[in-house]
Amino acid sequence: MTCTAASPMAGRTKVFFALCFALVLVTGGYIYLSAGRLASTRRPVEYAVGSVVRGAHVPPLATLRKQPHVAFRNLVPGAGYGMLAYVSLDSPGGPREETDLPCQRLYASAGVTVCLGPYQGYWSGHVLNDRLEVGHIFRAPGVPSRVRVSRDGRLAGYTLFTAADSYMVAGFSTRSVLVDTESGARIADLESFDAWKDNAPFHAVDFNYWGVTFGSDPAKFFATLGTAGHTYLVEGDVANKRMTVVADGVECPSLSPDETRIAFKKKTEMPGRWRPAIFDLKTRADTVLPETRNLDDQIEWLDDEHVLYAIAEPGAAPVRSSVWKLRTDGSQPPTLFIADAASPAIVRQR
């Protein structure tokens, strides 16, 4: 990043606003953590590498996870609030099995689960194998926003909110990172990739990436590039460390199982509000789905005809939300999928 000269008064003004923003961030973090403590009476377990994440009912949990299921963040107030939990895919409204691993965001695929949550006073990522053994723990220097695991389980991509960038005076900036789940090694920060738009190099000081989603080839992925008020859909190439702009106005992408469409949140005319939509990668057309409530989530695909997403309850303290299901052709209104839940991940393959 580059810096430009400024007058002493301008410098003092920037410092003042930066300090105010830092105060807001710290205060917000305190309120968030306090809400979590009020919601849960269970003290989070401090897991170490090699330990096994435990559930309240070990045999039922093991049996459930051998079948198609949903991994998610449990938001029922009480001892299990904010913890990694599971429910049968055949009966998502049925009994859920909770663990004692706190997760702010999570995802699971091909026997690998990545949980972003508090650990020893810091935000960290836990990489779990199919036996729920902790293989790696990595520091996550920011507030967890999004996480995805590739379809073969080899890579993970996560996004954090951070206030570390000097060009941000008001609002959050993001960091998106790719991780090797087998070794736990950091592969790259997406801001280190070269960006291309209309067959020409593309760069700006305010670049932010978020919302990674993978296809069958883990070396290729999609994400959002935010810059100058635009939210571009970009396709990433891990080997060449290159980003290519695909379309404008596509935010928090999620690639369909058949890899022909992108589910995303589409900006509305009202600032800070989004609706779910589907972008066709071949025709470049998008379809807005019949959901009128505000969507601030990365959508999950249930199958090629249905998507899942969390809708927060406005003003709820502690934070509450439920997961809803919607047909991708827009022919039906949304239906409740899992109450008091967030961050769903569909797990079918074993």
CB 63 within 8 A of CB 56: no
The CATH H-level superfamily of 8-347 is TolB, C-terminal domain (2.120.10.30)
Q: Which residues pair with 153 in a beta bridge?
A: none
Query: CA–CA separation, 340 vs 301, rounded Å?
Result: 19
State the pLDDT confidence band at 41, using cuts at 50, 70 and 90: very low
pTM: predicted TM-score of the whole model, two decimal places = 0.85
| Backbone phi, psi, residue 131, to 5° | -95, 10
Q: What is the pLDDT of residue 38?
A: 38
Lowest mean pLDDT among 22-26, 59-63, 276-280: 22-26
Q: 3-class secondary structure for the chain? A: CCCCCCCHHHHHHHHHHHHHHHHHHHHHHHHHHHHHHHHCCCCCCCCCCCCECCECCHHHHHHHHCCCEEEEEECCCCCCCCEEEEEECCCCCCCEEEEEEECCEEEEECCEEEEEEEECCEEEEEEECCCCEEEEEEECCCEEEEEEECCCCCEEEEEEEECCCCCCCCCCEEEEEEEECCCCCEEEEHHHCEEEECCEEECCCCCEEEEEEECCCCCEEEEEEEECCEEEEEEEECCCCEEEEEEECCEEEEECCCCCEEEEEEECCCCCCEEEEEEECCCCCEEECCCCCCCCCCCEEEECCEEEEEEECCCCCCCCEEEEEEECCCCCCCEEEECCEEEEEEECCC
Q: What is the pLDDT of residue 57?
A: 85
Given a cut of 60, is residue 100 above it in pLDDT? yes
Q: What is the pLDDT of residue 17?
A: 36
User: Tens digits of per-residue pLDDT, 184-220?
Assistant: 999 999 999 999 999 999 999 999 999 999 999 989 9
Give the CA count within 13 Å in the CB-facing half-sphere of 233: 25
The residue ranking higher by pLDDT, 257 or 14, is 257
CA end-to-end distance (rounded Å), the chain: 44
State the pLDDT confidence band at 46, using cuts at 50, 70 and 90: confident
Token pair recorded at residue 94: 């049925």
State the pLDDT confidence band at 2, using cuts at 50, 70 and 90: very low
Amino acid at 11: G
The residue ranking higher by pLDDT, 10 or 131, is 131
Q: What is the pLDDT of residue 7?
A: 37
Closest CA to 124 of 39, 184, 42: 184
Query: CA–CA separation, 112 vs 65, rounded Å?
Result: 12
Q: Which residues pair with 161 in a beta bridge?
A: 143, 174
Given a cut of 60, is residue 28 above it in pLDDT? no
Query: CA–CA separation, 232 vs 214, rounded Å?
Result: 16
Lowest mean pLDDT among 52-61, 66-75, 132-141, 340-349: 52-61
Q: What is the pLDDT of residue 349?
A: 67
- Quote the percentage of the chain above a pLDDT of 90: 75
Sheet holding 274-280, edge to edge: 251-255, 261-267, 274-280, 286-288
The residue ranking higher by pLDDT, 45 or 335, is 335
Q: What is the pLDDT of residue 76?
A: 95
Given a cut of 80, is residue 24 above it in pLDDT? no
CB 140 within 8 A of CB 124: yes
Given a cut of 80, is residue 20 above it in pLDDT? no
- Quote the percentage of the chain above a pLDDT of 70: 84
What does the domain layout of the chain look like in residue ranges? 8-347
The residue ranking higher by pLDDT, 73 or 8, is 73
* C-alpha distances out from residue 343 to 212, 249, 321, Å: 14, 23, 10
